[in-house]
Amino acid sequence: MNKYDVILYDATGFTGKRTVSYFQEHAPKDIRWAIAGRNEQKLMKLKQELNLEVDALIADALNEKDIDILVQQTKVILTTAGPFALYGSNLIGCCAKYGVHYVDITGESPWVRDMLDKHGEAAKASGAKIIPFCGFDSIPADLGIWFLQKYMREKFQSELTKADGYYTMAKGGLNGGTLLSALNMLESGEIRRLGNPKLLTKDLKHRDFIPKIKRKVLNHYAKDIKRWVYPFFMADVNTKVVYRSIALAAEYGKAHPEEFLYQEHHAIGKRIPSFIASVSMASFAVLGQSGLMRKLAKKMGPESGEGPNNENIEEGFFRLKIVGEDHGGNKAMMTLQYPGDAGNKATVCFLCESALALVKDIERLPEHSGFLTPVIAFDGVLFERLIAAELQISCETMEK
């Protein structure tokens, strides 16, 4: 029998501390959980600060023996230790080996692809559910498309053929871990692989459903929401997760579209600000290839363990609208929103509820194992949990 139900790894990082606070407030009393990290002094300080009565476990993510011992003590590993390409590989490898379920908040799709290639078969054989992308990247997109597909099937008895997601965000801010993950992908050259829409589906049979199109790289006017928009900075991550969900649905004999295109945009409202934002985003991608510019970004941005203050996190806000259409031209719009900053509050809620679902609702979850997406791993169970945790979601029919 495992000593713990969940181990929270990197508990002393900026996001890690917030997951600990979330568990302290929301985890049922019968959940056996522990915190973990490589720095004993920081872990003890955190226990004292929060008056925690849980165990603190010492393990270095880069030490495979440490992680091997850590993983065997629990049913679920929750980790916020990014960049995940640097600190996540041993955790995933050991979870796949021992049949331990795994959730994280990575947006590093190329790394997930590499882990899938290396450990995918072992995870299936052991029964491990390896579920990356359980934060703001990419639960809103994955869950939003799932909800919209369900609505279209019930309303029109049809499948979506295309959809556009539009994000609106306010306040909040970037934390050091997120910045370092992005810079690490630029430095390693892995960001080039993000351009391949089939990156996360190449191991699956149903992968030719994505039509080839020329993406819009600058701003444009979106008639469906009557606002100027530009490419969303996490679109290359979220779209691939959505595509993997569809490919896995086909693999498991579930309803799925035979053709589907998903794109994401940031809705900023007016033309000039959206143009400036789109140029700035494109410039960052180009300038980020320079080592000098990456050093400057590290110096000017938040350091590891730093992030926005609690007031900005609580007053932050995001909304995602997804407009979808079927072959007959029927259209519907899904609206999803959560009170609080996307990257630092919503992410924590989504991640922690995912981990809790793997413990408290395991008998209700699909039996699939291996590298899964949030929707395929949790189906409607996570939806129910997030609704209870203040997520708001709805669908409405639109005029053709």
DSSP state of 73: T
pLDDT at 83: 92
191-219 tens-digit pLDDT: 677 789 999 999 999 989 998 877 766 78
* pTM as predicted: 0.92
Q: Give me the mean pLDDT over the 237-245 stretch.
A: 97
Q: How far is C-alpha 226 from the chain's CA centre?
A: 28
270-299 tens-digit pLDDT: 887 777 777 776 665 655 566 655 566 555
Q: Which residue has the higher pLDDT, 122 or 312?
A: 122
User: Hey, which residues does 267 pair with through a beta bridge?
Assistant: 229
CA-based nearest residue to 371, from 208, 244, 246, 249: 244
Tell me what percent of the residues of the chain surpass a pLDDT of 70: 87
356 phi and psi, to 5 degrees? -65, -35
User: Does 300 score more than 70 pLDDT?
Assistant: no
Q: Which helix (H) or strand (E) holds 397?
A: strand 392-398
Map tokens 């390896």 to a residue. Answer: 130
Q: Which residue has the higher pLDDT, 178 or 92?
A: 92
**301 confidence band (pLDDT: 50, 70, 90):** low
